[in-house]
Amino acid sequence: MNPRTVLAGATALVAMALPALAERGASGHLNIIYWQAPSILNPYLSGGTKDIESASLVLEPLAGFDQNGELFPRLAEAVPTVGNGGVSADLTQITWRLQEGLLWSDGTPVTAEDVLFTYDYCTHPEGGCAQGAAFEGIASIEAPDARTIVITFTAPRPYPYQAFVGATSPILQKAQFENCLGAAAPTCTEANFGPIGTGPFRVTEFRPNDVISLEANPNYRDPAKPAFATVTFKGGGDAAAAGRAVLETGEMDYAWNLQLAPDVLAGMEAAGRGKVINAFGTLVERIEMNLTDPSPDLPEGERSTVRHPHPFLTDMRVRKALSMAIDRELLVEIGYGRAGRPTCNIVPAPPMFASDNTDCLVQDIEGAKALLEEAGFRPGPDGVRVNGDGLRLRVLYQTSTNAVRQDFQALIKQWWNEIGVEVELKNIDASVFFGGDPGSPDTFQKFYADVEMYANNFDGTDPEPYLAQYLCSRIPGPENGWQGENINRYCDPAYDALLAELSRTGEIEKRGEIARRLNDMVTKDSYVVVPLVDRGRNSAHALSLGGVVLNTWDTELWNIENWYRVR
Amino acid sequence: MLTYTLRRLLTAIPTLIFISLVIFLLLEAAPGDPLADQPLTIPPEVREKMRIALGLGEPVWVRYWKWLVQFVWVEPRVVLDGWLGTGFAAGEARIVSWQFRAPVFDIIWQRIPQTLWVVGMAYLVGVLIAIPIGVYSAVRQYSWFDQIGTFVSMLGFSVPTFFSGVLLIVIFAVNLGWFPSIYDTTLRVTDWDSFVRQVRQMALPIAVLALFNASQISRFMRASMLDNLNQDYVRTARAKGLPERRVVLLHVLRNSLIPVVTVVALGVPTIFGGAIITEQVFKVNGLGQLLITAIYANDLPMVQTLTFIFAILIVLFNLIADILYGLLDPRIRYD
């Protein structure tokens, strides 16, 4: 070994040891870019990911999720469970205990009163709170002493970790938001743009839809952290520009959610300045089948309602054939590369809840054709299958406007044509498609098409509310202003019964088993939902940035207090 | 002249009210929903509550009237309060953006500096380049300089900024590393160093926009010069034995500038409109980016207010252009 390598090795060792010895602010300045710019730093007034994740630098919940989707305490001393007595045996009460000596960034103590206030803030009837769902089913919330919070539920709650867990549900400071309840919430611009928090950083300047300047919180509970003294959180532009800024020009240190074609991303990474990281969560791109008739011949108010069953998609053989014709491997390769994998489940993770269903992974054109024959559809003179009653297999396939989705539409159309199904494609601007305007015919809830494609996921790690979307009572229609998540108009009493069982079950293994069965009921047993791709997330960081662990269960910036500059 | 100006200003009022109504109704009729960018994990009941909290539960006319009153009565008094430290508008509801839940005008004020610096400077640079090029191209019509000028302005005019901007970024930011690709709006010029940084970050967006502006204005300048070069008074000036330099720069240029000044004045409102695409490409995040993100987010109060401000500026600068024309050209009298 020559002296030079020894020296190099020693330098490397010192470099590795540095973060451990580092003190607060030793790493200097950090540049983060989100190509969607944050509009507000109060997650209770906006559910947008950009807003929640930027606010997570400042505001913290009682507990968060780590990269494996497991709960860990943030402001709480420990995560309450039945085992440690934090959750009552009848599952109706949970007791959180705050860590001792917690301070807000302004130096005042954090108390249980702040947690109670946060509940009042979000549940105020005039507030329009974006996270209202997390606080549903809470009968009362009390603070027996300054560090204890007792939440009582109206019914047994097998999974009690929704309120105050994860970046979507952080604690606000009562003193700051006291006069911002209800209708007054939007008037508190100063508080909404610069919340006082407990997180590793505090806001020095917020320019909406542009940039946030932050500095290390002097009262952060770990005196050695964060390693960065200041942060610039820039927003705006597009994913390609954000990727370029980290991977090619090196102006930025971290770029969020780079939805770029696999080859584009690989080309940028080749510049050697940064690294693309990816991880998987619960986001699944899927095709939803309409079980009701969307025909424009029906009068308005009756189209796509349960009064008129779909002429052929109510036949499971047709739905299954449509699924069998799809080559999911190819879709992943073209659309997502490393950030995608084929799936047959709507609940792809966490492992506990993910079914082992892999039936759909192999494309089977011949099998699909045979199935359609069996259902009575034979090729007509133009190749499109027709049944004895003269019913043509013709589908309108809609989705939102997005380059990858249009590629998917073209490929799937080709496969469906091959099995004798005529396909008409339609794409709708995302703000209209997902907008939920009851006056528009083009929303995904109205579903004036035979099949539609989009992606959906669930917050945190418990899929119960997500699986509850397929209950009979959640069918959208004119009588409820087209509000409802059961957009397939699927209704199976056995599903409803099994879901009711899930909401009574506390044992985690049993919950997993029921959730897997529910997943199978809407996917491989009925093909009402045809999952395509389990979509992971690509982010990128500069090679000089250490400590980054990508987390899809909570905010991506979940462990920013541990990030440091590699020297 | 004064009565003419007053008459024009008075007729502008009903015009602007009509414009504001048309903008409001158009936005109302357009599809879209302010909650469309909220994730699907938010259940429909919660969405409905958020919608009502935004004030969407009220009828269209009520919302229009409220907006109009806030725009012409509340907001001007807020500005006055800011200048004089008075409390005329204390406690009154201002126009609030749906995305930010913050007063629309506060954010517009925040965005004006970077837009004026980048887009305004590009306009100025564009005009300063365009006039000499236009003059020289006309004087030496069909020379190689004129041919190249024509080619470059065709290029500048027809190549979209989303292409030229990204091209410049790839060459000068990615490959050469001379200029940054991201504009830092928090940079404050306090010393020589920060001044250099400011110049560097402005260089690329200004280059892109100035090329576009210059190619347009230089064509106007050239055409106007050519019109004048064949006039009788030019022949007279030459016949008097004046040097060509004086003929061109004193006689022809001054007369040719009259229509160009009008064109330049009419273009000023576009500065405030920002350069939507260029601002996005370089992340300048000025008024143009504010408008486009507000449109994407269906933030109607923001879109409505911004477009109406542009409408006011356009009406105003039309008037200014007309008055300037009258002042510069003694043959034109409006009264």
Closest CA to A79 of A194, A164, A195, A173: A164
Token reading at A187:
């008037």
Give the integer Cα–Cα distance in Å for B284 and A237.
Answer: 9
Is A244's Cβ below 8 Å from some Cβ in B? yes
Region A344-358: mean pLDDT is 90
pLDDT of residue A13: 43
In a domain, B77, yes or no: yes
- Is the CB of residue B187 less than 8 Å from the CB of residue B247? no
Instruction: Decide if B52 contacts A127 (C-beta within 8 A).
Output: no
Candidates B45, B46, B52, partner chain A, best to mutate (most A CBs within 10 A): B46
Instruction: Compute the mean pLDDT over every residue in chain A, rounded to the nearest whole number.
Output: 89
Q: Which residues pair with B30 in a beta bridge?
A: none
pLDDT value at position A10? 45
Do the domain assignments include residue B229?
yes
pLDDT surpassing 90 at residue A365:
yes
A377 pLDDT more than 90: yes
pLDDT tens-digit readout, B304-331? 999 999 999 999 999 988 888 888 887 8
What is the residue type of B16? L
DSSP state of A219: T
pLDDT tens digits, one per residue of A184-235: 777 788 899 999 999 999 999 999 889 999 999 999 999 998 999 999 999 8
Chain A's closest residue to B93, CA to CA, is A187
B68 in a structural domain: yes
Domain assignment of residue B163, yes or no: yes
Rounded mean pLDDT of A29-34? 94
pLDDT score of A17 more than 50:
no
Q: Does A49 touch chain B (CB under 8 A)?
A: yes
Residue B335: predicted pLDDT: 62
Domain count within chain B: 2
Q: Which residues contact A144 (CB under 8 A, 6 or more apart)?
A: A150
Residue finishing a domain among B97, B122, B142: B97
Boundary of a domain, candidates B97, B126, B143:
B97
Whether residue A37 and residue B285 make contact (CB cut-off 8 A), yes or no, is yes
Residues of chain B contacting residue A237, judged by C-beta atoms under 8 Å apart:
182, 280-281, 283
* Segment 13-42 of chain A within 8 Å of chain B by CB: 33, 37, 39-40, 42
Chain A residues near residue B37 by CB distance under 8 angstroms? 48, 431, 434
Supply the range of the domain harboring residue B93: 35-97
Q: What is the pLDDT of residues B238-270, one digit of tens each?
A: 899 889 888 888 889 988 988 898 889 988 888
Residues B86 and B163 in one domain: no
* CA contacts within 13 A on the Cβ side of B19: 18
- Those of residues 439-478 in A touching chain B at CB distance below 8 A are 440, 442, 456-459, 465-466, 476
Would an 8 Å CB–CB cutoff place A134 in contact with chain B? no
Position A498 confidence tier, pLDDT thresholds 50, 70, 90: very high
Q: What are residue A103's DSSP bridge partners? A: A109
Whether residue A177 is predicted with pLDDT greater than 70 in this model: the reply is yes
- For residue A126, which residues of chain B lie inside 8 Å, CB to CB? 53
| Residue A20 pLDDT class (50, 70, 90 cuts) | very low
| Range in A6-20, A36-50, A158-172, B37-51 the model is least confident about | A6-20
Which residues does residue A151 pair with via DSSP β-bridges, in sequence order? A94, A141
Measured distance CA(B13)–CA(B316) in Å, rounded: 11
Domain identity same for B84 and B164: no
Q: What is the share, in percent, of chain A residues with pLDDT greater than 90?
A: 63
pLDDT score recorded for residue A325: 95
When mean pLDDT is compared across A151-160, A243-252, A426-435, B17-26, the lowest value belongs to: A426-435
B137 plus B177 within the same structural domain = yes
Unique residue bearing structure tokens 């300063």: B128
Angle between helices B121-139 and B253-272 (to 10 degrees): 150
Q: Residue A255 — very low, low, confident or very high, per pLDDT cuts 50/70/90?
A: very high
Residue B127 within a domain: yes
* Cβ–Cβ gap A232/B186 under 8 Å: yes
CATH of the domain at B252: 1.10.3720.10
Q: Is the ipTM of this complex over 0.85?
A: no
Give me the residues paired with residue A215 across strands: A202, A230
**Same domain? B218 vs B263:** yes
CB contact under 8 A, A46 and B99: yes
Q: Which of A88-102, A126-140, A289-303, A384-398 has the lowest average pLDDT?
A: A126-140
* Among chain B residues, CA nearest to A241: B281
Across the strands, what pairs with A531? A286
Q: Between residues 180 and 219 of chain A, which touch chain B (CB distance below 8 Å)?
A: 183, 185-187, 189, 192-193, 205, 207-211, 213
**What pLDDT score does B17 carry?**
92
Q: What domains sit in chain A, N to C, each tagged with a CATH number?
A: 280-536 (3.10.105.10)
Neighbours of B108 (CB within 10 A): 19
Contact with chain B for residue A418, Cβ under 8 A? no
* Environment class of B205 (CB within 10 Å of its CB; exposed 0-12, middle 13-18, buried 19+): buried
Chain A: give the shortest CA distance to residue B217, in Å.
Answer: 29
Residues B44 and B115 in one domain: no
Assess if residue B157 is contained within a domain. yes
Domain boundary among B48, B69, B97: B97
Please state, for a pLDDT cut of 70, what percent of chain B lies above it: 99
- The pLDDT, as a whole number, for residue A172 is 95
Distance in Å, alpha carbon of A187 to nearest chain B alpha carbon? 7
Cβ neighbours of B177 in A, within 8 Å: 249
A444-455 average pLDDT score: 93
Query: Distance between CA A37 and CA A236 in Å, rounded?
Result: 5
Instruction: Provide the pLDDT for residue A349.
Output: 86
Binned at pLDDT 50, 70 and 90, residue A22 comes out as: low
The pLDDT of residue B280: 86
A132 contacts B46? CB cut-off 8 A: yes
Least CB-CB distance to A431: which of B33, B47, B182? B33
**Residue B28 belongs to some domain of the structure:** no
Residues B170 and B301 in one domain: yes
Residue B66 and residue B195 in one domain: no
Mean pLDDT along residues A480-487: 83
**Co-location of B180 and B263 in the same domain:** yes
pLDDT band at residue A1, thresholds of 50, 70 and 90?
very low
pLDDT digits (tens, 9 = 90+) for B265-303: 988 888 877 688 888 888 888 898 899 889 888 888 999
Q: For a pLDDT cut of 70, what percent of chain A falls above it?
A: 96
pLDDT at A12: 44
Is residue A396 within 8 A of residue A422, CB to CB? The reply is no
Same domain as B65, residue B198: no
Under the banding of pLDDT at 50, 70 and 90, the label for residue A11 is very low
Do residues A60 and A45 touch, judged by C-beta distance below 8 A? no
pLDDT for the residue A16: 45
Residues B211 and B250 occupy one common structural domain: yes
Amino acid A139: pLDDT:
93
Give the whole-number percent of chain B exceeding pLDDT 90: 32
Q: Write down the H helix ranges in A282-429.
A: 316-324, 328-335, 365-374, 403-418
Q: Of A339-353, A500-514, B83-97, B178-192, where does mean pLDDT reach its minimum?
A: B83-97
CB neighbour class for B332 (10 Å; exposed up to 12, middle 13-18, buried from 19): exposed
Task: Classify residue B291: in a domain, yes or no.
Answer: yes
CB-based contact, A230 to chain B, within 8 Å: no
**β-strand pairing of A211-216 with A228-235:** antiparallel
pLDDT of residue B277: 86
What are B142-194's pLDDT values in tens digits? 999 999 999 999 998 898 888 999 999 999 998 898 999 889 888 888 899 99
Which among A37, A130, A465 has the least Cβ separation from residue B50?
Answer: A130
Identify which of A129, A207, A209 has the shortest CB distance to residue B293. Answer: A209
Q: Per-residue pLDDT averaged across A34-57, rounded? A: 90
Evaluate if residue A7 carries a pLDDT over 70: no
Whole-angstrom distance, CA of residue B139 vs CA of residue B141: 6
Instruction: Looking at the structure, tell me whether residues B165 and B48 fall in a common domain.
Output: no
Cα nearest neighbour of B285 on chain A: A210
Judgement on whether residues B266 and B232 belong to the same structural domain of the protein: yes
Distance CA(B285)–CA(A38), nearest Å, equals 12
Question: Is the model's pLDDT at B15 over the cut of 60?
Answer: yes
